Chain A
Amino acid sequence: KQEVTQIPAALSVPEGENLVLNCSFTDSAIYNLQWFRQDPGKGLTSLLLIQSSQREQTSGRLNASLDKSSGRSTLYIAASQPGDSATYLCAVRPRSARQLTFGSGTQLTVLP
């Protein structure tokens, strides 16, 4: 059964720092991996989707990488801002299932 792990569970950084969030998964047979953002008490917003054949995706200050062989993905946030404070979740779409499997998230706080 696919398992997704995100470490650390929480992270605080000063404004302006570049940072990396980590996601690992146990089964490399996936269609894609997604990074989501969740603000307190809100739904999820999709940030980036990396297909299994891709190595990375970029959107503005965000860059996500995927290494299927090692079962790892990273989300790089450049020049962090207080508005980036949120919980970041990664999810994989296994080839063996129709639904997503989620990690428990990393709660990011960017201090002004």
Chain B
Amino acid sequence: DGGITQSPKYLFRKEGQNVTLSCEQNLNHDAMYWYRQDPGQGLRLIYYSQIVNDFQKGDIAEGYSVSREKKESFPLTVTSAQKNPTAFYLCASSIGSPTPEENTQYFGPGTRLTVL
């Protein structure tokens, strides 16, 4: 089955620790995205990558880091510098921007991170 997988589903972190959230896709999509969702709010973009070995900051990149060493994988690290990391994290992918009018994003099931 083609799709996007995120792991783990639930993650608990102590203050001061770095944690890494996994995102894998087998859709052969070029672009991948990380969003953060807080209760009662829409999704906010953390980082995105249009191609392997390249990524760009989104609206709320501070305290986060990413890598894109493989087309299929786009892990997100939540560092200790992120002051309020408790949230629901969603990964998405899309074909890319050759035809932006038609381009839709496909989402993974999400990871809920809780800081203890």
Contacts and interface: CB of A to CB of B under 8 A. Distances in A.
Sort chain B's interface into a size bin.
20 to 34
Sort chain A's interface into a size bin.
20 to 34
A53 B45 CA distance: 26
A45 B112 contact: no
A91 B33 CA distance: 14
Interface centre among B42, B56, B97 (most CB of A within 10 A): B42
Which label, helix, strand, loop or mixed, suits the secondary structure of the B interface? strand
Given A42-B109, A43-B107, A43-B110, 14 more contacts: A31-B100, A32-B101, A42-B110, A45-B107, A49-B102, A49-B104, A51-B101, A51-B102, A89-B42, A93-B100, A98-B48, A99-B45, A104-B41, A104-B42
Interface of B: 4, 6, 31, 33, 35, 40-45, 48, 50, 56, 58, 88, 90, 92, 97, 100-110, 112
